[in-house]
Amino acid sequence: MVEGLKVINLKKTFKLSAKQQKLEKTKDKVRKAVDGLSFEAYKGEIYGLLGPNGAGKTTTLRVIATLIKPDEGDVIIDGLSVVKDAGKVRGKIGFLTSDMKLEAFFTPNYLFDFFASLYGMGEEKTKSRKDKLFKMFGIDKFAEVKVSDLSSGMKQKTSLAISILHDPDVIVFDEPTNGLDVTTAKTVTDFLIGMKEEGKTIILSSHVLSLIEKVCDRVGIIMKGKMVVEGRVDELIKEKDLETIFIEKSKEVENDEKCADNN
Amino acid sequence: MKNVLTIIKKELKRFFTDPRMILALVLPGIIMMVMYTAIGAIIESVQKKTTYAIITVNKPETVASSEFSLGLDAFHKSLPGNVVDIGDTNKEYVLEQIEKGDVDLLVVYEDDFWNAVEAYNSAVPGAIAPKVELYFNSSKEKSSQVYSMYSRFLDDLETKMIDVNKFDIDLKDTAKPTDLGIMLISMILPGMLVIFLSTGSMSVVTESIAGEKERGTIAALLVTPIKRSELALGKATALSIASLASGLSSFIGMIVSLPSMMAGVELEMSMYSVGDYFAVFAILIATVMLVTIIMCMLSAMAKSVKEATGFTGPIMLVVVAAAFPTMLGMVSSTNLALTLIPIFNSVQCLAQILSKNFNVGYFIMTLVMNLVYTVLGVFVLGKMFNNEKIMFRQ
């Protein structure tokens, strides 16, 4: 059984509307968002997923989170397939993306209880998790304030706490420090490292390369839906930093594409 | 002027090049056409089967040489149902039967009617015109219909007699004061109730489902292990309750203002039994659930609250169209085939209950059909929540 997460030859295409074809100056009726992507993230490690906008990161994360189905391939999480066992997988993962927002009308306290109930958690377990997570993120100070009245940092902390309230084995975060101040970003970074030490499998997608360098054990750079660089962060940055690798690879892919178009 | 034309062109382009907009424009018309055609066909078949019970007193004897007499005979024969003459006995008993709805019309002619008509000259001072008394019950639809046919015939007959004032038609409405209230309530309330419920549903549903999609909060729900069908049912139920509350608040406002709206009409809560109120409430719950699930499906298709409002708007037109015939007193049928038409079936059933013509079969079928449609709707909504193209449409 695969412990952690294994992405196997993932493919996903989206139909392009006439408007999108015009915008993207293409005659193709479909766009390959993810094109045969494979990687593994092990227990007790943080795997960083890098890529420019439109590279297929969000699509990959959505497939992992069972929000969308792949055209081909699969993702195996602790032996469960996101295609065949979507319901069970949802109980095993914690997912947080910038697309996901909290209902503004409610308080963090209410929302925590609401989602805990959806995860089938009992009253006692909910209380102990809430005490722990609210204390860890300092949410207890604003637990009874409506989400609409919270700052971006407070909202993000609440979202983080709710996404892991069921103590998932696999955690998938898309841009978790986006728009956060230095102090809050540090809280998130410390939290990620803490989760890793607890033996969780963490997939982290971010544009903040310094964060990836700091917390990730391994990293995969995807471009045009394909894996172009993969390896241990400490080994990759021996000669060049991640930013240089990223930019060089971007240019390389762009040149390859131009050559293909000319041929 | 150039700017105005530019704006007009842009707006027209928006309307006539967006398939969804075109659908929103055309769909209500198509739905109404289909619905009214179906309703019309069913009503026609029902009306063909309608027969009237008419009693006459002192029915004028046939005079072979009188075209008027022959005309009256032909008219009696053309009426669907029986015309029975009872001489001048049992009039009081017949009036009771009219009140109950067992007899539709009592026509009382003056003795030796044709001779009296012949002898009457309106130009002679003090001459008394022969009388035809029509007894009917305006709170009963069949009675009103046959009364209308009969009085129209007599008016035409009098007109043909050159001297338009050859006899007097005396109308006697056997309906009680509260009967009129019952009739008005049964015409107005069913349609208004369903319209209010739908309006309430539209506002809460668009905000909840399309609003959640727009704000990005639905994704948080979709990554939880909860089944999509559970999510659909939970949403539909909660939204039905909210819709019911919203619709009932409008309804209560209307009930409060009803006495002043119908000044002069006797209205009492005791006109209806506890059973009637329960039946009305059962139909309202079934209707609001159905309307809500329809709104939910349309709302799930939309990317934003604004778009959802555009989608659900045509449904309101359909609701109004379904309420319209009853509000005009045009339809009151117990044909079970009509229970297949959603929303219209509820309006009809409410009209039957409120007009004291409760039909158990129609009531049960209406509840069952609405429930079946709602369950189907919940199933489809669950599938829609599972459809990435719908939930994550860009």
How confident is the model at residue B260, as a pLDDT? 60
**Average pLDDT for B362-381:** 93
Neighbours of B367 (CB within 10 A): 20
Contact across the interface for A118 and B392, Cβ inside 8 Å: no
How confident is the model at residue B68, as a pLDDT? 77
How confident is the model at residue A187, as a pLDDT? 85
Interatomic CA distance for residues A116 and A164, integer angstroms: 10
Among the partner-chain residues B219, B224, B392, the one whose CB lies closest to the CB of A90 is B224
How confident is the model at residue A80, as a pLDDT? 92
Q: Which residues of chain A have pLDDT under 50?
A: none
**What's the burial of A25, exposed, middle or buried (CB within 10 Å: 0-12/13-18/19+)?**
exposed
Report helix, strand or coil for B125.
Answer: coil
> How many residues in chain A?
263
Q: Which of A138-142, B89-93, B256-260 has the highest mean pLDDT?
A: A138-142
Among A188, A163, A161, residue whose Cα is nearest residue A176: A188
β-pairing verdict for A218-223 and A46-50:
parallel
Whether B376 has a pLDDT exceeding 90, the answer reads yes
Q: How far is CA A47 from CA A39, A180, A212, A213, A229, in A?
A: 10, 21, 9, 11, 13
Among the partner-chain residues A65, A87, A102, the one whose CB lies closest to the CB of B227 is A87
How confident is the model at residue B370, as a pLDDT? 93
**Average pLDDT for B225-244:** 82
How confident is the model at residue B365, as a pLDDT? 94
ipTM, 2 decimals? Answer: 0.85
**Does B226 contact A at CB distance below 8 Å?**
yes
Whether B25 has a pLDDT exceeding 90, the answer reads no
**Does A22 contact B at CB distance below 8 Å?**
no
Task: State in Å, rounded, how far the first CA of chain B is from the last one.
Answer: 36
**Does A88 contact B at CB distance below 8 Å?**
yes
Q: What angle do CA B344, B349, B353 make, to 5 degrees?
A: 150
Interatomic CA distance for residues B388 and A68, integer angstroms: 6
Among B361, B363, B369, residue whose Cα is nearest residue B348: B363
Give A69 to chain B, closest Cα distance, Å.
Answer: 8
Give the strands of the sheet with A5-15, arranged side by side. A30-41, A5-15, A72-77, A80-81
**Does B222 contact A at CB distance below 8 Å?**
yes
Residue B270's pLDDT band (cuts 50, 70, 90): low
Whether B328 has a pLDDT exceeding 80, the answer reads no
Contacts of A59 (CB under 8 A, 6+ apart): A12, A33, A34, A68, A225
Among A210, A217, A253, residue whose Cα is nearest residue A45: A217
**pTM: predicted TM-score of the whole model, two decimal places:** 0.69
- Which is more confidently placed, B120 or B6? B120
Q: How far is CA B174 from CA A202, B102, B134, B267, in A?
A: 83, 13, 10, 18
Whether B254 has a pLDDT exceeding 70, the answer reads no
Residue B86's pLDDT band (cuts 50, 70, 90): confident
Whether B49 has a pLDDT exceeding 60, the answer reads yes
**Average pLDDT for B263-285:** 77
**Does A69 contact B at CB distance below 8 Å?**
yes
On chain A, the residues whose CB falls within 8 A of the CB of B392 are 62, 67-68
Among A6, A85, A84, A8, residue whose Cα is nearest residue A47: A6
Tens of pLDDT along A158-201? Answer: 999 999 999 999 999 988 887 778 888 888 888 889 999 999 99
Tens of pLDDT along B99-131? Answer: 888 889 998 888 888 888 888 877 788 888 888
Interatomic CA distance for residues B278 and B74, integer angstroms: 47
Q: Which of A60-74, B305-319, B326-340 has the highest mean pLDDT?
A: A60-74
Residue B82's pLDDT band (cuts 50, 70, 90): confident
On chain A, the residues whose CB falls within 8 A of the CB of B216 are 99-101
Interatomic CA distance for residues A116 and B221, integer angstroms: 11
Interatomic CA distance for residues B237 and B306, integer angstroms: 23
Q: Which of A126-130, A183-187, B247-251, B292-296 has the highest mean pLDDT?
A: A126-130
How confident is the model at residue B198, as a pLDDT? 86
Among the partner-chain residues B216, B222, B223, the one whose CB lies closest to the CB of A101 is B216
- Which is more confidently placed, A259 or B366? B366
Residue B311's pLDDT band (cuts 50, 70, 90): confident
Kindly give the residue spans of alpha helices, DSSP state H, lying in B169-227.
Answer: 177-205, 211-215, 218-222
Give B394 to chain A, closest Cα distance, Å.
Answer: 10
Residue B173's pLDDT band (cuts 50, 70, 90): low
Amino acid at B210: A
How confident is the model at residue B43, as a pLDDT? 64
How confident is the model at residue B12, as a pLDDT? 59
Residue B35's pLDDT band (cuts 50, 70, 90): low
Contacts of A58 (CB under 8 A, 6+ apart): A97, A99, A174, A205
Kindly give the residue spans of alpha helices, DSSP state H, lying in chain A.
Answer: 18-23, 57-64, 86-92, 108-118, 123-137, 152-163, 182-197, 209-215, 233-236, 242-262
**Does A97 contact B at CB distance below 8 Å?**
yes
Whether B351 has a pLDDT exceeding 80, the answer reads yes
Residue B215's pLDDT band (cuts 50, 70, 90): confident
Whether B176 has a pLDDT exceeding 70, the answer reads no
How confident is the model at residue A171, as a pLDDT? 92
Interatomic CA distance for residues B232 and B390, integer angstroms: 14
| Residue of B224, B383, B389, B391 best to disrupt the A interface, most CBs of A under 10 A | B224
Percentage of chain B beyond pLDDT 70 is: 76
Interatomic CA distance for residues B357 and B329, integer angstroms: 14
Give A17 to chain B, closest Cα distance, Å.
Answer: 10
Give the strands of the sheet with A226-232, arranged side by side. A93-96, A170-174, A201-205, A46-50, A218-223, A226-232
Contact across the interface for A67 and B223, Cβ inside 8 Å: yes
How confident is the model at residue B218, as a pLDDT? 82
Interatomic CA distance for residues B25 and B27, integer angstroms: 6
How confident is the model at residue B394, as a pLDDT? 57
On chain B, the residues whose CB falls within 8 A of the CB of A115 are 220, 224
How confident is the model at residue B117, as a pLDDT? 82
